[in-house]
Amino acid sequence: MSEGHRLTAAPATPEAAGSPALLLIAHGSRDARHAATVAALVERVRALRPGLEVATAYLDHCAPRIPRVAARLAEADASAVAVPLLLNRAFHAKHDIPAALRACGSALPVADVLGPSPLLLAALDRRLAEAGLDLGSPAVRARTGVVLAAAGSSDPAADAATRAAAAEWRRTRGWAGVEVAYASAAGPRVPDAVAALRRAGAAEVAVSPYLLAPGRLPDRIAEAAADSADLLADVLGSAPEVATLLLARYDRARRAVTAAPALTA
């Protein structure tokens, strides 16, 4: 599946029905909006790939947890590919998910995290357009600065990946500027990034959450944006681009598993 900007629904084929299940692993949250967003995203994935079994498991806070879903798959003797619902390869991807699978005796292959991908930038575009920004106008983009507001991480590589995404977004869209802000960990915070963009000459500043679901951190970003920015986009959520990207990660991991026996034969 291509990771370009064109979105096409995968056909309902017998091959999809016979493929390994897609086990979507989300972080989980005490905020009910998180699980509702994950459920909406799963339904979009199912619509794109009819016949593919899609299951959901959570690392924390929500049910079902990874051991329960892994046990159900094992009891059914069903193969599956785990796909992390994560933007960057940080602690949850490097340690928590592999450890949770090992702890329940699961050897499921694990796909790559979602980022980086042009599809994530397209999803960010979508959310800004839905918030009222005229992305079709080069003049509007040239006078608009954007804050890419991420969760933040103690992993330097994860933060570097977010900054690289911001740089690519500016390069390919022609924004007046793109600044990264973090809702947790070290700064800069949203007001700092907004102020930096205004000092650099942006006539209008939009805040775009680089987050997958509503919750405490997106709420913190929204509160800061209300006091400092001109426009706030929604979280990525169940955007069609995110669903397409999940299937792209699943397909890549599935093909790698299929190819491995041939390489060792």
**27-42 tens-digit pLDDT:** 999 999 999 999 999 9
- Chain centroid to CA 155: how far? 17
Integer-rounded Cα radius of gyration of the chain: 19
pLDDT band at 203 (very low <50, low <70, confident <90, very high): very high
Q: Which long-range contacts (CB under 8 A, 24 or more apart) does 257-263 make?
A: 257/20, 257/81, 257/109
Question: What's the confidence (pLDDT) of residue 231?
Answer: 98
Q: Are 87 and 113 in contact (CB under 8 A)?
A: yes
Burial label for 191, CB within 10 Å (0-12, 13-18, 19+), is middle
pTM > 0.95: yes or no: no
**C-alpha–C-alpha distance, residues 101 and 25, integer Å:** 11
Q: Are 155 and 184 in contact (CB under 8 A)?
A: no
114: nearest Cα among 89, 152, 87, 91: 87
Question: What's the confidence (pLDDT) of residue 261?
Answer: 56
- Residue 11's φ and ψ, nearest 5 degrees, are -70, 155
pLDDT one-digit tens code per residue, 76-107: 888 999 999 999 987 777 878 988 998 888 88
State the virtual CA torsion across 75, 81, 87, 89 in degrees, nearest 10: 100
CA distances from 38 to 5, 219, 238, 246 (A): 22, 17, 7, 12
CA distances from 61 to 34, 66, 87, 160 (A): 10, 12, 19, 28
Strand order in the sheet with 144-150: 177-182, 144-150, 204-209, 231-232
- Residue 209's φ and ψ, nearest 5 degrees, are -65, 125
pLDDT band at 13 (very low <50, low <70, confident <90, very high): very low
Burial label for 240, CB within 10 Å (0-12, 13-18, 19+), is middle
pLDDT one-digit tens code per residue, 147-199: 999 998 888 888 999 999 999 999 999 999 999 999 986 779 999 999 999 99
Question: What's the confidence (pLDDT) of residue 188?
Answer: 94
pLDDT > 70 in the chain, percent = 91
**C-alpha–C-alpha distance, residues 46 and 50, integer Å:** 6
